[in-house]
A = this chain, B = another copy of it.
Amino acid sequence: MVEISRRQAIEDVASDLFREHGYAATSIRDIARALSVQGASLYAHVTSKEDVLWAIVDRAASRFEAAADRAGREAEARRPGDSAEAVAALVRAHVEVLTGDVDEAGVFVHEWRALGEERRAAILARRDAYETRFRRRIEAGIAVGAFDMTDPAIASTALLSALNGVATWYDPDGRLTAERIADHLVDLALRMLEGRA
């Protein structure tokens, strides 16, 4: 238990530093300093800076996946087959994860490219699978006439890029609550998909 919480503390501090200064500009020594320990003692818990990045990115990816799973199930239970409800639920779940831990989400969105080749490929595959959920939902909405015709691949990428932008500008003490931001983004997403019909 002690080990787990120390590891968690390292990742939390690292998320904060990676988001603030970028992964490249942050050293293991910086992480140690923020934890008020010696750099050497950190190596009892982590083998490399990239390991810490991987832990953060992997956990964030799991959070997004779990939230989308749940959102999909709940939307289907509420309004079976309703495309707008399904997309709204996916958007809301994504924004909730992003704003729930803004450091972790920011690192996930911006710093995954700094991973080594193999881990980078693994995350890319998960990002693709995640995006496919959005694309399939958009395709299904177009097929039943709930959404205006568009290129589903471009629409899903554009939507996810727009949502991920939240990781850059969201401020927990800012003008809008996370919930209100999600409301706005759901509205913009549905306008975009439903079109001028």
Contact = CB atoms under 8 A, between A and B. Distances in A.
Interface string A170-190: 000000100001001101100
Given A196-B196, A197-B196, A158 B165 contact: yes
B162 A181 contact: no
Interface residues on A, range: 35 or more
Contacts of A165: 157-158, 160-162, 164
B196 A150 contact: no
A148 interface: yes
Interface stretch (A3-11, A22-30, A38-46, A70-78): A22-30
A188 to B, nearest CB: 5
A87 to B, nearest CB: 13
A1 interface: no
Contacts of A195: 191
Given A23-B24, A195-B191, A158 B162 contact: yes
Contacts of A163: 158, 161
A114 interface: yes
Interface of A: 22-25, 110, 113-114, 148, 150-151, 154-155, 157-165, 168-169, 176, 181, 184-185, 187-188, 191-197
Given A150-B188, A157-B169, 10 more contacts: A23-B24, A155-B188, A158-B185, A159-B162, A161-B162, A161-B163, A191-B192, A191-B194, A191-B196, A192-B192
Closest 9 CB pairs of A and B: A161-B165, A24-B24, A158-B162, A192-B192, A162-B162, A22-B113, A191-B195, A154-B184, A161-B162
